[in-house]
Amino acid sequence: MAAGLRLLIPEEKIQARIRELGRQIAQDYPEGVLYLVGILKGAWIFLADLARAIERPVRIDFIGISSYGTGKSTSGEVKLTKDLDCSIEGEDVLIVEDIVDSGVTLSYLLHVLAQRKPRSLRVAALLDKPSRRTAAVDLAYVGFQIPDAFVVGYGLDYAEQYRNLRDVYALEEPS
């Protein structure tokens, strides 16, 4: 693999954990359609795999949020770049997020979506960096807790690169 990338979570571990999460999610929800909302762009691959691991009817939608630009740390400013296509009023909604870092993006999104009166609103995050949290958010489903490293692959980018890697890697600064 290219210099500067250190393997953190291999593909097989990611896929095994997603199968567990899918089973858990399918059990936890009552009858009816589960509305999966993927956060663009980083969560697209996780959403595709998670949706197929949940053996029950689901609907898929995407919401676009930007807070990072092309750098490695949050600007603290969150903006909606693409809204949902459909109403979520009265629906069971599960937000599907790639990684939770400060929690700022997610707490903004939870606030926006709660105002639309879904029946339930929870979060599934593939990766969680708890040591970096500044905004408290409740994560119902977490794939892996990771240390404070900037990670790429499996949908996650650095300056729009690396999204198509099958594993998750820590991006290391050149020494």
CB atoms within 10 A of CB 149: 14
CB atoms within 10 A of CB 118: 19
SS3 call for 67: coil
Q: Which of 22, 42, 118, 143 binds ligand 5GP (CB under 6 A)?
A: 42
User: If 0-12 CB within 10 Å is exposed, 13-18 middle and 19+ buried, where does residue 100 land?
Assistant: buried
Residue 152 found at the interface with ligand 5GP (CB under 6 A): yes
Residue 103 found at the interface with ligand 5GP (CB under 6 A): yes
- Bridge-based pairing of strands 58-66 and 5-9 is unpaired
| Close Cβ partners of 56 (under 8 Å, ≥ 6 residues apart) | 26, 29, 34
Residue 163 found at the interface with ligand 5GP (CB under 6 A): no
Q: Which of 98, 121, 124, 165 binds ligand 5GP (CB under 6 A)?
A: 98
Q: Which is nearer to ligand 5GP, 28 or 74 (CB)?
A: 74
Q: Which of 101, 128, 138, 167 is catalytic?
A: 101
Residue 133 φ/ψ, nearest 5 degrees: -70, 130
Q: Which of 19, 102, 116, 120 binds ligand 5GP (CB under 6 A)?
A: 102
Active site residue 98: no
Q: Which region, judged by CB under 6 A, interacts with ligand 5GP, from 6-14, 28-36, 84-92, 98-106?
A: 98-106
Q: Which is nearer to ligand 5GP, 102 or 120 (CB)?
A: 102
- At which residue do the structure tokens 């990771």 appear? 146
Q: Which region, judged by CB under 6 A, interacts with ligand 5GP, from 45-53, 56-64, 79-87, 97-105?
A: 97-105
The Cα 80–Cα 83 span in angstroms is 7
Binding footprint of ligand 5GP on the chain (CB under 6 A) = 39, 42, 67-68, 74, 97-106, 150-152, 156-158
